[in-house]
Amino acid sequence: MQPRESAARVSVLVRHNALLMLREPGPLLSRLILPLVFITLLRPLYLAAQGRTAGTEQAVVGTLVTFSLLALSISGSAILTERIAHTWDRLRGTPLHPVELLAGKAVPVFAALLAQQLLIVGFGVSVLGLHVPHPFLLLSILLCWSGTLLGLGALIGVLVRSMGELSAAYDVGGMLLSSVGGALVPLSVLPAWVSDVAPASPGYWATRGLHAALAGDTHTVAAACGTLLGTALICGALASVRLRGSSGRLVAL
Amino acid sequence: MLVADGLVKCYGRRPALDGFDLSVAPGEIVGLIGHNGAGKTTFVEIVTGLVRPDAGRLRVGTHDALRAGRAARRLLGVAPQELALYGGVSVRENLRLYAGLAGLRGRRRDTEIADVLQELHLTSLTDRPVGILSGGQRRRVQAATAMVGSPPLLLLDEPTAGADPETRAALLTAVKARAEAGAAVVYTTHYLPELVDLDATLALARGGRVIARGTQEELTRHLPGELRVAFAEPDEPELRLSTTDPGADLAALLASGRAPSSVDIRRPSLDDLYRSLETTAQQNTPTEPEPHDAAA
């Protein structure tokens, strides 16, 4: 694979996929705006329960994890739409290497997921007074979490067979993973069995990592990043296997 | 430009391709015809790298397409049977993607896109979203995505399916022009008259293999045509004769002293050839299972 030619092909795909996303901005805009509305309306509840500093942090972290899980739809639909439209197979008939194809698809989605999270954090800092003493720790966990979402979304995107299934998967799955992970409600006030199963949810590691990043706990951030990256790699690998050959096709919906 | 040698592909126990041989030279248009399930689409999918054969060899240009698939696909322009377009963006953006992936940049890319749009009568639709175009217009856009970059090998899998006469005419003209410019073309279709218009050589597929290959003249020469003779006498019925030598039969008729009022000689058509080969194959292989075509 010639690096220059490869970079040129990936840049063509990135441009094209970014254009596709921007031509139908509704889903992206709703994923950007809704969390800000949600956080504003629910923050008083968190403040009353946990006090100003901890309440603001829980409101921002909980909203970020919950709505970023709901944004799985962005990465899932980016792949499912191509499968439904047969354009995925069409692209595989070009000189593109599978890695180039996935990179061209992933970069705009990754950027959208990261933008959503940065917007929520930025809103928390500028409007709600969230204190971020260790921005690079926070950025590292956000990058890892975005990677996990990308992998999870890709896996859902290749497993489901219709937009309806995709919608159900990210609605139910997203809420489940964020709730079980202690994003919306702290695990300390949930039943004990939820705490026992919580580490199985990527949302738990994102929530834990974000709290740790705000507290400057490097060790916990590193553990969370490792777990999230591992999850991302496993999901991405499973999605790649599923897409290989004819198994990733939609013969009939 | 394209040489397929003994390709075999099975889905479970069902053979989709069972020793499929085909070669296409530069500048040649090969009409690949056969019933659904004959293996046409599986063959196209193997050439495009979507499906890997169980056995056989495939060369595209100088490349072993089964070992160096990406290098082979650089030479390839594909219009799949299913429409595969981005409906939310314009015709230009669809073409820009495939032109970019073909390695075209800047002014050369824009010129190439403009040329192919003009060739397929799409210039007035350049900035319209593909999603609002008619079926025939989309077919032309799909063909344009295959032709942009002027690949030396074109695989067009039923490019005129469901297309109106205008679309069909534009596509056939464009395909002929590409072949005249040196491109090798594999053209699958169920509309056999198109192959006459394209002056294509023929490959008839059945049961996952090519059962007949040659020019239209070569393949239809042995088939009987029809000689129709009407007579001046009102009570004499029209004569219809199935014959491989209508000239000799007509001469014999005239020599017998009968007086025709009109003579009509119908030469064997591709439809006749197709029916004849199908009938022969069915008689020879009465217990053969119906092959499975992955995309059928």
ipTM: 0.81
One-letter amino acid identity for B132?
Answer: I
B52: which DSSP letter? -
Half-sphere exposure of B223 (CA within 13 A, CB side): 21
Residue A66 domain flag = yes
Name the residue in chain B with its Cα closest to that of A5: B103
Q: Which B positions 75-104 lie with beta carbon below 8 A of chain A?
A: 76, 78, 80, 82-89, 93, 96-98, 100-103
Torsions phi, psi of B207, nearest 5?
60, 30
Contact B80 A90 (CB under 8 A): yes
| Chain A contact probe: residue of B101, B154, B155 with most A CBs at under 10 A | B101
Domain span at A36: 3-248
The model's confidence at residue B86, banded by pLDDT at 50, 70 and 90, is very high
Name the residue in chain A with its Cα closest to that of B79: A90
Contact B51 A246 (CB under 8 A): yes
Task: Identify each DSSP E strand in B104-224 by its residue range.
Answer: 153-157, 184-188, 201-206, 209-214
As given in the structure block, the two tokens for residue A217 are 């706990």
Residue A171 domain flag = yes
Instruction: Return the SS3 of B68.
Output: coil
Instruction: Return the SS3 of B199.
Output: coil
CA distance B276 to chain A (A): 33
Which of A23, A24, A94 faces B101 most closely, judged by CB atoms?
A: A94
Paired with B156 in beta bridges are: B79, B187
Task: Kindly report the average pLDDT of chain B as a whole number.
Answer: 87
Give chain A's domain count: 1
**pLDDT score for B133:** 93
Question: B87 contacts in A (CB within 8 Å)?
Answer: 85
Domains of chain B, CATH where assigned: 2-219 (3.40.50.300), 225-267 (no CATH)
Kindly report the pTM of this predicted structure.
Answer: 0.81
Residue A188 domain flag = yes
Contact A96 B101 (CB under 8 A): yes
Closest CA to A83 of B82, B94, B70: B82
Residue A79 domain flag = yes
Question: B102 contacts in A (CB within 8 Å)?
Answer: 94-95
Identify residues of A whose CB sits under 8 angstroms from chain B CBs: 5, 8-9, 12-13, 15-16, 19-20, 23-24, 85-87, 89-97, 245-246, 251
CA distance A12 to chain B (A): 6
DSSP string, chain A: --HHHHHHHHHHHHHHHHHHHHHS-HHHHHHHHHHHHHHHHHHHHHHHHH-HHHHHHHHHHHHHHHHHHHTHHHHHHHHHHHHHTTHHHHHHTSS--HHHHHHHHHHHHHHHHHHHHHHHHHHIIIII----S-HHHHHHHHHHHHHHHHHHHHHHHHH--SHHHHHHHHHHHHHHHHHHTTSSS-GGGS-HHHHHHGGGSHHHHHHHHHHHHHHT-HHHHHHHHHHHHHHHHHHHHHHHHHHSGGGG--S--
Cβ burial, residue A253 (10 Å; 0-12/13-18/19+): exposed
pLDDT one-digit tens code per residue, B104-162:
999 999 999 999 999 999 999 999 999 999 988 999 999 999 999 999 999 999 898 87
The model's confidence at residue B282, banded by pLDDT at 50, 70 and 90, is low
User: Which residues, 6+ apart, have CB-to-CB distance to A76 below 8 Å?
Assistant: A153, A154, A156, A157, A160, A166, A169, A170
**pLDDT score for B114:** 95
Residue A12 domain flag = yes
pLDDT one-digit tens code per residue, A156-203:
888 888 888 888 888 888 888 888 888 888 888 888 899 899 999 999
Question: What gap in Å lies between CA B193 and CA B171, rounded to an integer?
Answer: 14
Do the beta carbons of residue B195 and residue B220 sit within 8 Å?
no
- Between residues A237 and B93, the one the model is more confident about: B93
Q: Mean of the pLDDT values across residues B198-220?
A: 88
Winning range, highest mean pLDDT, from A2-6, B58-62, B260-264: B58-62
**pLDDT score for B291:** 43
Question: B105 contacts in A (CB within 8 Å)?
Answer: 8
pLDDT over 90, % of chain B: 49
Q: At residue B59, does pLDDT exceed 80?
A: yes
Torsions phi, psi of B239, nearest 5?
-95, 130
CA distance B80 to chain A (A): 7
Residue A193 domain flag = yes
Q: At residue B94, does pLDDT exceed 80?
A: yes
B225: which DSSP letter? E
Residue A253 domain flag = no
Contact B84 A85 (CB under 8 A): yes
CA torsion sign, B32 to B36 to B38 to B42?
positive
Q: Angle A216-A219-A225 (CA atoms, 0-180°, nearest 5)?
A: 95
The region that residue B157 occupies, defined by phi over 0 for left and psi between -120 and 50 for alpha, beta otherwise, is beta
Contact B73 A93 (CB under 8 A): yes
CA distance A54 to chain B (A): 44
Instruction: Return the SS3 of B195.
Output: helix
Torsion of CA B229, B232, B233, B238, to 10 degrees: 20
Cβ burial, residue B291 (10 Å; 0-12/13-18/19+): buried
Residue tagged 């919906």 (tokens)? A253
Do the beta carbons of residue A55 and residue A81 sit within 8 Å?
no
Residue B43 touches partner A, C-beta closer than 8 Å: no
Question: What gap in Å lies between CA A6 and CA B129, rounded to an integer?
Answer: 28
Question: A24 contacts in B (CB within 8 Å)?
Answer: 88
Paired with A248 in beta bridges are: none
Paired with B2 in beta bridges are: B24, B60
Length of chain B: 296
**pLDDT score for A244:** 65
- Measured from the Cβ of residue A230, the count of other Cβ atoms closer than 10 Å reads 15
Those residues of chain A that have pLDDT short of 70 are: 1, 244-253
- Measured from the Cβ of residue A110, the count of other Cβ atoms closer than 10 Å reads 18
Residue A29 domain flag = yes
pLDDT over 70, % of chain B: 94
Q: What is the arrangement of strands in the sheet containing B225-231, beginning at the earlier edge strand?
A: B239-243, B225-231, B260-266
- What's the alpha-carbon Rg for chain A, to the nearest Å? 19
